[in-house]
Structure 1
Amino acid sequence: MTENMSAAPQPSADRPEFPEGYGLPETTEGLLTWPEVEARLGAAKHYWLASVRPDGRPHSVPRWGVWLDGRFYYDGAPTTRHVRNVEANPYVTLTLESGTQVVIVDGLSAATRADPDGLGARLAAAFAKYHDDDYRPAADAWSGADGGGLRVIMPERVLAWTSFPTDCTRFRF
């Protein structure tokens, strides 16, 4: 995948499908907005990434990354378990740490790269939230032929809530 991806689509919002008895409202009143969910994705420092091993067993790993332009960018060596998993099966789930301020992103992970004068500069600026942890990638960190291990998750579906079940919201892309 190259840096010339089109702008991320804006999602539609509705209620998720939960089993009867969960108390999900029957109307769309009180749904979360995409800008407020995106703000939480952007502000987060720690994320959990779940992938599937080639033998079908799940794998979950904490990740650092940035939400930018409607996508999640992170990097990792091609030899790591999660990168080997997504090379075989690109479907992933990304979540925030909280079990009450919930954001669950289902999507596809793909290798990509970033030109230092464009996306690379914007990614390096976004990764500033990790400077206190001594992680300071330069704008050219992801510009090589292998993209420096840069990956992008393109969301297909996002579930979010802050006050279960009243504001449970599903976003579809």
Structure 2
Amino acid sequence: MQPAEIIRRDAAERRRDALERLGAERDMWVSTAHPEHGPHQVPLWFLWDGQAVWMCTGAGSATARNVREEPRVRLALPDTFDVVLLQGDAECCPAREVPQDAADAFAGKFGWDPRTEEAPFVYLRVAPRTVRAWRGEPELRGRVVMRDGVWLPVAPA
């Protein structure tokens, strides 16, 4: 098997591709850490609303407990070749208190509405502070496409 040739994308292409994937994909790896118990990583369904990632998990899950203790999280789309990593602070919102537009969009995307479940669920909202996007070694330089919650400027085409 020969490796595929990687054509280096410019910043505008990386940003466009990352946003496209955030809008289209279903699963995201969520990494949290507890001050005493260490790291925890799980895949969750997610919704990108154009500003933030919305995920849902059981109110008593390790992910929810960790976020309450330490809100800093790292999120990753599941492709190890076309990497998109997000970093930010997660906010916990009980399912019955989540903004209706976000909860309705989540339910529409997945055909499942946590607000109707008997067991308590929380939504995690993460507005990214940092986004990194790269494909292979040729794109390691310049992989940061968002810093301090602001998309980095791209050169005009």
TM over 0.5: yes
Q: Tell whether the 8 Å contact from 2:59 to 2:121 is kept in structure 1 after alignment.
A: no
Aligned match for 1:108, one of 81, 89, 107: 89
Partner of 2:143: 169
Partner of 1:95: 76
Partner of 1:13: none
Cα distance per residue 1:38-80 (max 9 Å; x no partner): 1111211221100112216211111111111221101112210
What letter corresponds to residue 157 of structure 1 in structure 2? T
Partner of 1:53: 34
Higher relative contact order (CA 8 A, sep 6+): 1
Q: Tell whether the 8 Å contact from 1:38 to 1:70 is kept in structure 2 after alignment.
A: no
By percentage of residues, which structure has more strand? 2
Measure the CA separation in 1 of the matches of 2:69 and 2:99.
26
DSSP-derived class of the 1:34 partner: helix
Q: Tell whether the 8 Å contact from 2:31 to 2:73 is kept in structure 1 after alignment.
A: yes
By percentage of residues, which structure has more helix? 2
Q: 1:108: Cα distance to partner?
A: 0.6
Aligned match for 1:62, one of 43, 58, 78: 43
Q: 1:115: Cα distance to partner?
A: 3.9
Partner of 1:73: 54
Give the gaps of 5 or more residues in structure 2: 1-7, 150-157
Percent identity for Structure 1 against Structure 2: 22
Partner of 2:125: 152
- Once superposed, which parts of structure 1, at least 4 consecutive aligned residues long, lie more than 2 Å away? 32-36, 112-116, 118-125, 162-169
Measure the CA separation in 2 of the matches of 1:44 and 1:122.
14
TM-score with structure 2 setting the length: 0.72
Kindly report the root-mean-square deviation, in angstroms, between the aligned alpha carbons of the 2 structures: 2.5
Q: Tell whether the 8 Å contact from 2:49 to 2:102 is kept in structure 1 after alignment.
A: no
2:114 maps to 1:122: no
Measure the CA separation in 2 of the matches of 1:48 and 1:166.
22
Which range is displaced more, 104-113 or 54-63? 54-63
Cα distance per residue 1:99-141 (max 9 Å; x no partner): 111000001100133343x33333322xx2x34xxxx217xx2
Give the gaps of 5 or more residues in structure 1: 1-24
Aligned length: 132
